[in-house]
Copies of this chain bind each other. A is one copy, B any other.
Amino acid sequence: MERIDGRKNDEMRAVKITRDYLRHPEGSVLIEMGDTKVICTATVEEKVPSFLKGTGKGWVTSEYGMLPRSTQTRKQRDSSRGKVDGRTMEIQRLIGRTLRSIVDLEKMPETMIWVDCDVIQADGGTRTASITGAFVALVDALNHLVSIGKLKLIPIKSYVAAISIGIKDGEVLLDLKYEEDSTCKVDMNLVMTEEGNFVEIQGTGEENPFTKEEMKEMLELGEKGILELIQIQKQSLGELSDKVGTKK
């Protein structure tokens, strides 16, 4: 059975990462995974949250949004509705946790990095694209701190990327497009490091619990995708790529 856009089950969509996409932020990236497009920016602020004041540690946090017409039908702005919806909160908490897991916060100066992921066009996988792009923007922002002398080294312990995997009509599929995502029986988002360790796993079988065997297949396929994404991150970072990861 062929996928809707002709891909093989284990084939990712084309990925493109454009660094320095915007002029103002310390790090900014446009990441495109097929038709999904997300602007990821990383902003350095002097002010840390109150629970960190005086500790000498830094912090990384994240916010996520969608332009009203990034989606097939127009989505009302959170600001018009007066509150952030639950899905948005889940996603921005996920991005924040992921980034904090691979940054050595102890080695950051007492600063805060805001990572904003704003979806310009949505076609499935916006949260995983956000993570993969946000990582690159974060590297640039931390490198900015190096370049102005606030840091000696980029305090990132490992590369990290994310991908979605799903099960549809009994087939395990990598990197779901919107039409696949919305008809899948099982939906998993996987966040892994370059070393193949898990940062986050979120799997849900809303209408259809899944078996251990399916779980195993999804994890294998996900890992394959993530390693490909990390190669793309490295190419995008160019010579900076060697300065990231504690082994370097």
**Residues of chain A having any CB pair with chain B under 8 Å:** 22-25, 28, 35, 39, 41, 43, 45, 63, 65, 67-72, 74, 77-80, 82-90, 92-93, 97, 100-102, 114, 116, 118, 120-123, 158, 192-193, 195-212, 215, 219
Contact = CB atoms under 8 A, between A and B. Distances in A.
Q: Determine chain A's interface SS by DSSP, over half rule.
A: mixed
A69 B86 contact: no
Copies in the complex: 6
Contact of A67 (B70, B93, B116, B207): B116
A101 B67 contact: no
Given A82-B83, A84-B79, A204-B199, A39 B24 contact: no
A92 B115 CA distance: 26
Given A43-B69, A101-B208, A74 B114 contact: yes
A22 to B, nearest CB: 5
Q: Which of A77, A87, A208 has the most CB of B within 10 A?
A: A77
A24 B121 contact: yes
B67 A39 contact: yes
CB-CB nearest 7 A-B residue pairs = A78-B79, A197-B209, A86-B89, A41-B69, A25-B69, A43-B74, A201-B203
A63 B70 CA distance: 14
Given A39-B120, A195-B209, 19 more contacts: A22-B69, A22-B121, A23-B123, A24-B71, A24-B121, A41-B69, A63-B77, A67-B118, A80-B84, A83-B84, A86-B90, A89-B90, A101-B206, A196-B211, A197-B212, A198-B215, A199-B204, A199-B205, A215-B219
B72 A79 contact: no
A93 B102 CA distance: 27
